[in-house]
Homo-oligomer: A and B are copies of this chain.
Amino acid sequence: MEFDLIARIRDRASTRDDVVLGIGDDAALLQVPPGRQLVVAMDTLNAGVHFPANTAPADIGWKALAVNLSDLAAMGAEPAWCTLSLSLPGGDAGFVDGFLDGFLELSALHGVALVGGDTTRGPLSVCVTAHGLVQPGRALRRAGATPGDDVWVTGTPGDAAAALAALQAGAAVDRALRVRLDRPQPRLAAGRALAGLASACIDVSDGLLADLGHICAASGVGACIELDRLPASPALSRFRPELRWPWQATGGDDYELCFTAPAAHRDAVAAVLAATGDTAATRIGMIDTSAGVGAQRPDGAPWAPAMQGFRHF
C-alpha cells in the first residue's frame, strides 16, 4: 500500500532541472548551484494540535508546506526542494489526493519540487523539510537587531487567531479569517527583498510578542511595540481593540514576517516590499535596551496579554 501511495505522489509531483533524482529511490539527489548556501527548515503538523480536526485535507497539505516555506522566507532564502513524511491511520488514497491538491498548489506557486520522503502508518501527522538557497552572507537571522532599529511586521497579524478563537467557541467563522488560518501565505518575496536591509527577521508562528522575543533574545536587546500601530485586516477591524489586541499581539499561525531594520532604511524597506507585490509592512515599535518585549496601550500604559504565544506542550 505504501508503494501505491508513493506512486500516487510521484505521478503528481513536478520537478526542476537541479533535481538529479527525485521520488522513488533511497534518497533524492540534488544539484546545489555554485555560490549558494543551503537553507534547511523542518516542521511537523499534528492533527488536533496544529490544525483543527475538521480541516480539509487540501488545507492541511497547503499549511504543512506553508509553515516550512515561511521559515525559508524568514531567512531571506529562495525555496527549491522539499521532502514530505506523511503518517496516516490508514492508506486513505482520497485523503492523500486532497492533501496533494493543497500541497502541490502551493509548491507550484513557488517553484518548489517535492523530491522525496515517506508514507507511514500512524496517527495523522505531516512532517516537511524545505530546502532553500541563499547567497553567502545574505541570510536573515534572528540575531542582529540593534537598539533604535524599527520593528516591522508584514501583513495583518491576528486573523488566524481570531478564526481559531471562533472555531473553538463553536461560533461562525468569518471566511476571510478562516482562509488566513488554513492557507497562510509564506512571505517569500518579502523575505528575499529584505535581505540586506533588515537587521533581524523571524516568522510569526507562535505570536508576535513571543516571536519578537526570540529576535530580542538572539540579539541581546529588548523591544516595545505600540498596540495602536498593529495593522488589522478589514475582517479583524470589526472587533473592538481590547478584543483583537490579544489576537494581533499574541496569536500564532499567521506566518507573517516580523523584522527589524535601521531607521535609515525606512523608505527602502517600504519601496522594496512594494516592488515585490507580495505584502506591505507596518512599523509597530522599536528595539531598545530593555530586558524583554513590552507592549504599550494608546494611552502609554503598559499592556500585558493573558497568554503570550502558542504553547507547544
B43 adjacent to A118 (CB under 8 Å) = yes
A26 adjacent to B203 (CB under 8 Å) = yes
Residues 35 to 89 of chain A near chain B (Cβ within 8 Å): 37-47, 49-50, 71-72, 74-75, 77, 81, 83-85, 87-88
B41 adjacent to A27 (CB under 8 Å) = yes
Residue A91 lies at the interface, judged by CB distance under 8 Å to chain B: yes
Question: What string of 1s and 0s marks CB contacts (under 8 Å) between A242-282 and chain B?
Answer: 00000000000000000000000000000000000000000
A39 adjacent to B24 (CB under 8 Å) = no
Residue A291 lies at the interface, judged by CB distance under 8 Å to chain B: no
- Write the residues of chain A forming the contact surface with B, with a CB cutoff of 8 angstroms: 1-2, 5, 20-21, 24-32, 34, 37-47, 49-50, 71-72, 74-75, 77, 81, 83-85, 87-88, 90-91, 115-123, 125, 127, 129-132, 134, 136, 139, 141-143, 201-203, 218, 311-313
Q: Which single member of B38, B44, B75, B115 contacts A32 (CB below 8 Å)?
A: B38
A40 adjacent to B127 (CB under 8 Å) = no
Q: Hey, which chain B residues are within 8 Å of A41, CB to CB?
A: 26-28, 116
B218 adjacent to A121 (CB under 8 Å) = no
Q: How far is the CA of A312 from the CA of B4 in the complex (A)?
A: 11
B37 adjacent to A29 (CB under 8 Å) = yes
A25 adjacent to B131 (CB under 8 Å) = no
Q: Hey, which chain B residues are within 8 Å of A72, CB to CB?
A: 26-27
Q: Which single member of B26, B44, B134 contacts A85 (CB below 8 Å)?
A: B44
Q: How far is the CA of A65 from the CA of B278 in the complex (A)?
A: 38
CB contact under 8 A between A127 and B81, given known A27-B71, A27-B72, A50-B120: no
Q: How far is the CA of A77 from the CA of B74 in the complex (A)?
A: 30
Residue of B nearest to A86 (CB): B44
A118 adjacent to B42 (CB under 8 Å) = yes
What are 29 pairs between A and B in contact, CB < 8 Å?
A25-B142, A25-B143, A25-B218, A26-B74, A26-B142, A26-B201, A26-B203, A27-B41, A27-B77, A27-B132, A28-B40, A28-B41, A29-B75, A29-B139, A30-B37, A30-B38, A32-B38, A41-B116, A42-B84, A43-B118, A49-B120, A49-B121, A50-B120, A85-B127, A90-B313, A91-B312, A91-B313, A119-B312, A127-B127
B37 adjacent to A115 (CB under 8 Å) = no
Q: How far is the CA of A77 from the CA of B30 in the complex (A)?
A: 12
Q: Hey, which chain B residues are within 8 Å of A141, CB to CB?
A: 21, 25
Q: How far is the CA of A203 from the CA of B127 in the complex (A)?
A: 22
Q: Hey, which chain B residues are within 8 Å of A26, CB to CB?
A: 41, 71-72, 74-75, 142, 201-203
B44 adjacent to A20 (CB under 8 Å) = no
Q: How far is the CA of A39 from the CA of B31 in the complex (A)?
A: 9
CB contact under 8 A between A125 and B87, given known A37-B20, A131-B40: yes
A183 to chain B, nearest CB (A): 20
A129 adjacent to B83 (CB under 8 Å) = yes
Q: Hey, which chain B residues are within 8 Å of A139, CB to CB?
A: 20-21, 29
A263 to chain B, nearest CB (A): 24
